[in-house]
Amino acid sequence: MAPSQDSFAPRREAPLFGRLAIIGIGLIGSSIAHAAKALNLAGRVVLYDREPEVRQRARELGLGHEIADSAAAAVADADHIILCVPVGACGPVAAEIASALKPGAILSDVGSVKKSVVEAVTPHLPEGVQFVPAHPVAGTENSGPDAGFPSLFLNRWCILTPAEGADPAAIAATRQFWEGMGAIVEIMTASHHDLVLAVTSHLPHLIAYNIVGTAEDLAAVTQSEVIKFSAGGFRDFTRIAASDPTMWRDVFLHNKDAVLEMLGRFSEDLAVLTRAIRFGDGDTLHKHFTRTRAIRRGIVALGQEKPETEKLRKD
Amino acid sequence: MAPSQDSFAPRREAPLFGRLAIIGIGLIGSSIAHAAKALNLAGRVVLYDREPEVRQRARELGLGHEIADSAAAAVADADHIILCVPVGACGPVAAEIASALKPGAILSDVGSVKKSVVEAVTPHLPEGVQFVPAHPVAGTENSGPDAGFPSLFLNRWCILTPAEGADPAAIAATRQFWEGMGAIVEIMTASHHDLVLAVTSHLPHLIAYNIVGTAEDLAAVTQSEVIKFSAGGFRDFTRIAASDPTMWRDVFLHNKDAVLEMLGRFSEDLAVLTRAIRFGDGDTLHKHFTRTRAIRRGIVALGQEKPETEKLRKD
C-alpha cells in the first residue's frame, strides 16, 4: 500500500466499497468523506444533507466525489450507507431511504446512543439490507461541513453494536472500514454501549453544560472574569459545553434511563463532598481526591491522552 | 536584554531581587525556581521544603542556587519570600519564619484562596515586612519538585490581592517579578478573588473529582472500559481530578462559603436539566446547550485556549 497524502493511515490500492453514501454533512460526516476519499476506502463517496446551504458548502469544499440532491439519490446503488445525523433523526431518515436501498447494502450510523437508534431504524430495514450500528468515540467542539478533517478517527475507538445473528461479513466489512480510517474497533451490545457511554461521555457533557450555565448566571462575577481566569479548570468544561446542541439534546432524550441513573449517583456523591466541605471534614476530601488519580494514570498509560506538561512544553 | 536560554521571556541584566526564598518545593515552587534563575529575576534563589527527601531531590535537580535546611535559614536576608505551600500551611509557616524576616522584605504566597491566607498570615507579619498575596492561575496535573518548568506562568494570569493601604513599591516589585516570568498581572480584593476562583476553578475541580469517583464506583461498567472510552468527554475531567489532593483539600476547607454558594447554584441548575431529561423537554435542553457556546468563544478569542481541531492537527 502506498502512503496516503495525509500520511496518517495507509491508502488502499483497491477500494473496500464501490459506493459510499453519507447522510448528514456535519463534523463526523465530513470527516468520513475526507478520510474515505483520501484513503480510497470507497470508489465513489456521495454525500447528502437536508439543508441546501450545507450541500452548497460541501460542494465548495469539494467533499467526496458528489453531493446528491436527495437522500434517495445518494443511497441508490450504495454499498455502504452511514447516517451521520442526530440520534433522533435516524429513524425518520431510515424510513425515507428504505425503498432506495439495494439488497446486500450495509446500513450504518454514527450515533452516540445505540439502543434507541436500533429500535428506530430496524423496522424500516428492507429484506437483504444489513444494519451494523457504529459509534466513533471522537469529536471536537466544532460542527458543520467545515469542521471535518481526515484524521479525526485516528487511534480513537469505534464501537459496533450489531444485533445478535447479524451477518458476520457485514460486521467484518464495517470493521475494516473504520480500521481503514485508523480507528480501533470494539464490539458490544447496544445496551452495554449506552451504559458505558452514559458515564464516559453523556454525564460529563451534561455536567459541563450545567457548570458553564451556572457561571453565566452569576451577578457578582462578570462573564469577562470567568473567561479571563478560566485556566484554573473551568476552561476544560467550556470545550465540552461548546458541542453541538441538537446532537446533545437528542443524546439525552434517547439515553434517558442510563443518564438519569448516572445523574442520580453523581448527585448522591456530590452531596457527600458538599457535606464534607460544610463540616470541615478534610479526611473525607483527601481520601476521595487521592483515589481519583488512579483512573487518570490508566488513561495516560493507555495513550488516550498525553500528560499535560508534555503538551504545554510543545506549545 | 539578552534572550534567555529558554527563550520564552527576556533575561534581566540586573536581578530584580537580591535574594529570593521559596518555601515549599512542589510544582509551583520548583517552576518559580527554574524561571527566576534562568531569567535572572533574583541574584540568589534559595529553596526550602519541610520534607528531607524533597530537599534531597531538589538538590539533585539543581533547583535554584541553594537548598536550605530550615525555613528560617532560607528566608534570612531574603528580599522576596514566596510561600508555595498548601493554603492551610501558610499561617503556620508565616509564624515559623516571622522572626527571621528582615525589615523591607516582601512576603508573598501562591495560594488558590486568598481571604483565609491573609487572615492567617497577617497576625505574624513583623514590623517593616510587606505582605503581597499572589495567585498564579496556572498548573498541571503533576506535583512535586520534578514537575516544575520555567514557562509554567507564561501568558497565564497572576492575581495579586494586596490589602488596602499596602506599600505601592512592594506591590510594584511583586508585579514586576510575575511579569518577568511572563505572567499577566491583575489586582483585586481577596474576597472578590475567592468568589471568581470559586466558579472558575474550585467548583470545576470539585465536580471533576466527583464525577471520576462516580465512574469508579460503577459495577456494570468496568474501570478499563471507563479508561478506554474516556475520549468521549470523561478524559477532560480526569486531568483535573488528578491534581494534588492536599492542595485541593485545603482549598475547599478555606474557601468554604464561596464554594458552598456555587455548589448550591450548580445543584439547582442540574435539577432543572435532570427534570428536562426525565420529562423529555428537548426545548429546555437545546436552549441551555446553545447559550453555553458563547463563553467558549470568548475563551478561544482571548487566546486562553486554542480551538481543539488546531491541537489535534498538531499531534
pLDDT in tens, A247-292: 999 999 999 999 999 999 999 999 999 999 999 999 999 999 998 8
pLDDT at B310 over 60: no
The string of pLDDT tens digits covering residues B210-262 is: 999 999 888 788 888 988 888 888 888 888 888 889 999 999 999 999 999 99
Chain A residues whose beta carbon lies within 8 Å of the beta carbon of residue B248: 285, 289
Whether the per-residue pLDDT at A314 is higher than 50: the answer is no
pLDDT at A15 over 80: yes
C-alpha cell at position A199: 458515564
- Is the CB of B225 inside 8 Å of chain A's CB atoms? yes
Please report the beta strands in chain B, taking only residues with DSSP state E, as ranges in sequence order. Answer: 17-23, 42-48, 66-67, 80-83, 106-109, 130-131, 134-136, 157-160, 184-187
Per-residue model confidence (pLDDT) at position A2: 42
Domains of chain A: 17-188 (3.40.50.720), 192-280 (1.10.3660.10)
Using the beta-carbon criterion (under 8 Å), do A209 and B290 form an inter-chain contact? no
Q: Using the predicted structure, report yes or no on whether residue B155 has a pLDDT greater than 80.
A: yes
Tell which A residues from 108 to 167 touch B, by Cβ distance under 8 Å: 112, 137-142, 147, 149, 151-152, 156-157, 159
A249 touches chain B (CB under 8 A): yes
pLDDT computed for residue A7 by the predictor: 59
Burial environment of residue B6 by CB neighbours within 10 A (0 to 12, 13 to 18, 19 or more): middle
Q: What is the mean pLDDT of residues B58-63?
A: 98
Which set of grid coordinates corresponds to residue B105? 522584605
pLDDT at A311 over 60: no
CA distance to A80, A104, A165, A174, A187, per residue, from A169 (Å): 13, 11, 11, 9, 14
Taking only Cα atoms into account, the Rg of chain A, rounded to an integer number of angstroms, comes to 21
Q: For residue A306, what are the CA distances in angstroms to A32, A149, B235, B236?
A: 25, 21, 11, 11
Q: Is B213 on the interface with A (CB under 8 A)?
A: yes
Range scoring the smallest mean pLDDT among A232-236, B253-257, B298-302: B298-302
Prediction ipTM score? 0.86
Residue of B nearest to A301 (CA): B227
